[in-house]
Amino acid sequence: MNGSAANYRSYVDLAKAQVEGADYRVYVRTKADSLVAVIAPHGGHIEQYTSDIARAIAGEDFNLYLFEGIRHSGNYAALHLTSHWFDEPRCLELLSNCDHIVAIHGCGGEAQQALIGGLDEELKAVVAQSMAALGVETLLVDHPFPATDPKNICNRGRRGIGVQIEVTMSLRLQGPREALSAAIRSVLLALPKQGGSVQ
């Protein structure tokens, strides 16, 4: 197996080429009373600051999953298992018990933008509104990351729908990262405790 992520079609492929604990680590924190999962499948040094954003959104209230690159270099090239191939078992197990999924990703871009995808149309709209209220340019359509594949990890929860948020490099490095995380967190805190529609 070539150790390039471009050749992976599953977590099994990645795990054959990379070593957990040396090249990457997996962090899972479950909250028995939460139906929400916040995930960063390209965390650590794969997509910089996505783990930090996910942790800040989850706080102590929501389930949290991080797949983090910990290599000295070349994390993206070696560990970026694209979202519709991402099937790491601990992540799938966590999501199988959750109704609302928010996946945090990083993308390139000099503009401070958040590109929102996924199949949970209601939650997408409310999340977009919360971020736009901060003055962050937020795109729901006409961007390269629609995340509409049912196999996309953000859509692998119990309801088969979720939200993917691609945060540009400029926004991650220079934007209101803490305020952005707090805004998304406030939306999730307002969700009904037993699932169902966004209020």
Q: Structural domain tally of the chain?
A: 1
27 inside domain = yes
Identify whether 34 is part of a domain. yes
pLDDT 10s digits, 161-188: 999 999 999 999 999 999 999 999 999 9
- Residues 12-63 have pLDDT tens digits of 999 999 999 999 999 999 999 999 999 999 999 999 999 999 999 999 999 9
Pull the structure tokens for residue 107.
């993308």
Cα torsion angle, 46, 50, 52, 58, sign: negative
Residue 118's domain comprises 5-189
Q: Is 107 a domain residue?
A: yes
Q: Is 197 inside a domain boundary?
A: no
Per-residue pLDDT, 1: 43
Record the pTM: 0.95
Q: What is the CATH number of the domain that holds 145?
A: 3.40.630.100
Phi, psi of 139 (to 5 degrees): -115, 130
195 assigned to some structural domain: no
Residue 163 in domain: yes
